[in-house]
Amino acid sequence: MPKDEFDFEDPLELNGVSVDCAEDTTDAMTECFVEEFMRLGYNHKQILALFRNPHYLGMHLAMEKRGEQFVRETIAEVFARRGQAVEWADQGRAGVSPAPQTQLADASVNAPESGDRRDACPALTDPMGAPLPDLTI
């Protein structure tokens, strides 16, 4: 069978289904997401960034439904179970997430003329923690 065609009779074909239930499973779902990415080696800030990303539908749904403070508490709780301390740098601003576009615009405005843009703002990273590419022309 060609790879692009779907075979309903193939028992090894990956099938996703939704299960409707009356109970709210947001707590368990959030814990599972956090633990899964923690085991993959993500830190607490990277996991929070994934919850903020609308392309991660399940994670973003939990963030919209329960709020950022709930997600931060769940991340801290799951990390504590594994003996890892979580310290948020912006504790006073819980629930406020800076827009990446604003950070990028501020970094390019405040950058020195002769230096690299990343020298002015070294914290420019994508949600996975990789540095953003320098796109100065």
pTM: 0.56
Give the start-to-end residue ranges of the domains of the chain. Answer: 26-87
Higher pLDDT, 9 or 29: 29
What confidence tens digit (pLDDT) does each residue in 64-119 have? Answer: 999 999 999 999 999 999 888 888 887 544 444 444 433 433 444 444 444 444 44
Provide the total of helices (H) and of strands (E) in the chain, helices listed first. 6, 0
Angle (deg, nearest 10), helices 57-66 and 44-52: 90
Cα–Cα distance measured from residue 37 to residue 48, given in angstroms and rounded to the nearest whole number? 10
Q: What's the angle, vertex CA 39, arms to CA 35 and CA 41, rounded to 5?
A: 120
